[in-house]
Amino acid sequence: MSETTKCVAPRREFLKKTAAVAAVSALAGMSVPRVHAAEDNTIQMAIIGSGNRGSGAVGDALSCGAGPVKLVAMADIFPNRLEGSHKALSKQFGDRIDVPAERQFLGFDAYRKAIDCLRPGDVALLTTHAAFRMLQFDYAISKGVHVFMEKDFVPDPAGFQRMLRLGEAADKKNLKVACGLMCRHSASRQALIQKIRDGAMGDIQFIRAYRMEGPAWMAPWKPGEAKSELLWQLRRAYKFLWASAGYFSEMMIHQIDECCWIKDSWPISAHGVGGRMINCTDSSQDLDSYSIEYTFADGAKAFVTGRYAPNCYNEFATFIHGTKCAAQFSGNIHAPTTRMYKDQRTAADDFCWKPDKEKVNPYHAEWAALLGAIRNDRPHNESRRAAMSNLASIMGRAAVHMQKIVTWDEMTASKFQFCPNVAALNADSPAPVQADAQGRYQAPVPGAWTEV
């Protein structure tokens, strides 16, 4: 393990250990004044969606060292998920998990009840899936609470339009919004970005981003296997475009965000190819492979590859090629494997520069930034940038699914929505997409599919 990999404690392991985070307050630039409404300066939080990702976000907030924070309410659709999260978090964080039974809420409207437990100036953690994110964001803003939201943020162009509007509404209320693209808070990546902006790599000609790993196939739906087909789908939300934006966007949005950050712009078009293996048994809406070519206004390209198949070559990294030299931007599971090379080779023995070892992992750094902004009343709203990166991600997905060149202008003008009635869904609602007689769901068919 390299020195730049050791410092990352993946959030998925939050139940196993609590990382030490010395000097985080300095990173956030805080003096921690008594500006919050609470007498003891404690910021209260409510979590909406208590699966692994949401529970991990709570762990990051409580571990980042940015002043007193506690969890006071929880919401989920599934009782066992809420109970398991509450038990694990309580074991790890003790009385900072102050969520008695009367503040544990279940159901499709549970997010409202949990947010209602907060005071203006507290924080709502929106960590359910993308289909419901804007409903929750809207309600949090109406209640005057700050927001941390996880990716994916929206599943479709209509969601993007709403996210922009709600981000502007948050600004008008001076609410702080953090969005879970944590690599933007990586000190190593920030150092390389500065080198790029200073011209050390010359003009950036193309970027290569990969997430090539094992299969993520889904078994068929069997009637009677769950209370309803809708709830069954929400247990497997990554497999459904309406619910989560699909597996590709969920997994690759970080790398696509990195490409846009490196170029300091948004792609003007995308086209791509993808498909499924001949022997694929997947019953979901996802494809096995996505290969996208993004084009930027200056003609530079970003090549993004997602592939999910067994017994194949795997890679998880982002590389940059400028007119002067190449660089690696990130490594396996978002590790800060960041370095610049002498030429266009990206060989381990060919680097000419690497940043200092990261002292704080980006998951904690993004929370330190949010909590510092709340305590010191600094501007902090990542929603517009996150929405744009999400749009770039679903633009690439659409280009593959439709096998057409899709432009940025088309995406920003589109009102396409997978599930227009998402606000009305409840446990008894029909699922937005229905399985066929074999329990399989319709995957995108090039030439006959529309999502723009």
Both 145 and 192 in a single domain? no
**CATH code, domain with 333:** 3.30.360.10
- Whole-number Å distance between alpha carbons of 249 and 424: 25
Domain co-membership, 149 together with 202: no
Task: Mark whether 45 and 59 lie in a shared domain.
Answer: yes
Task: Give pLDDT tens digits for 398-437.
Answer: 999 999 999 999 999 999 999 999 999 999 999 999 999 9
- In sequence order, the β-bridge partners of residue 106 are 76
CA distance 204 to 22: 36
Same domain, 144 and 231: no
What whole-number distance in Å separates Cα of residue 45 and Cα of residue 67?
13
177-179/146-149 β-pairing? parallel
Cα separation, 176 vs 144, whole angstroms: 10
What are the phi and psi torsion angles at 46 (to 5°)? -125, 135
142 and 206 fall within a common domain: no
Domain stops at, among 318, 350, 381: 381
Whether 71 and 204 map to the same domain: the answer is no
Pair (351, 373) in one structural domain:
no
Rounded CA separation 285/282 (Å): 8
Same domain, 137 and 16: yes
Instruction: Flag whether 25 is in a domain.
Output: yes
Same domain assignment for residues 324 and 406: yes
Q: What stretches in the chain show pLDDT beneath 70?
A: 1-39
CB of 292 within 8 A of CB of 248?
Answer: no
Q: Which of 436, 152, 392, 164 is nearest to 270 (CA)?
A: 392
Cβ-contact 26, 68 below 8 angstroms: no
The H or E element that residue 105 is part of is strand 104-106
Domain final residue pick, 329, 350, 381: 381
Which pLDDT does position 226 carry in this prediction?
87
Residue 279 is predicted with a pLDDT of: 86
What 8-state DSSP symbol labels residue 51? Answer: S
Q: What is the pLDDT of residue 348?
A: 85
Residue range of the domain that includes 140:
3-183+364-381
For 430, the token pair is 């029909």
d(CA 425, CA 428): 8
Does a structural domain hold residue 433? no
Residue 151 CB-density burial (10 A; 0-12 exposed, 13-18 middle, 19+ buried): buried
Phi first, then psi, for residue 59 (nearest 5°) are -60, -40
Structural domain count, the chain: 2
**Residue at 394 is within a domain:** yes
pLDDT at 39: 52
d(CA 433, CA 415): 19
pLDDT digits (tens, 9 = 90+) for 284-316: 999 999 999 999 999 999 999 999 999 999 999
User: Which pLDDT score, from 0 to 100, does residue 9 have?
Assistant: 40
- What is the tens place of the pLDDT at every residue in 156-192? 999 999 999 999 999 999 999 999 999 999 999 999 9
Task: Tell me, yes or no, whether 438 lies in a domain.
Answer: no
Does one domain contain both 44 and 162? yes
CB 123 within 8 A of CB 114: no
Q: Are residues 266 and 208 in the same domain?
A: yes
Q: Is residue 398 part of a domain?
A: yes
> Which tokens is 184 given?
């933007």
Tell me, yes or no, whether 439 lies in a domain: no
374 shares a domain with 420: no
Q: Which amino acid is at 374?
A: I
Give the integer Cα–Cα distance in Å for 10 and 184. 16
431 is a domain residue: no
Q: Quick one: which of 364, 359, 390 has its CA closest to 182?
A: 364
Helices 247-263 & 187-197 angle (0-180, nearest 10): 40
Give the pLDDT of residue 86: 98
Q: Residue 123's closest CA among 70, 202, 198, 195?
A: 70
Residue 325: inside a domain:
yes
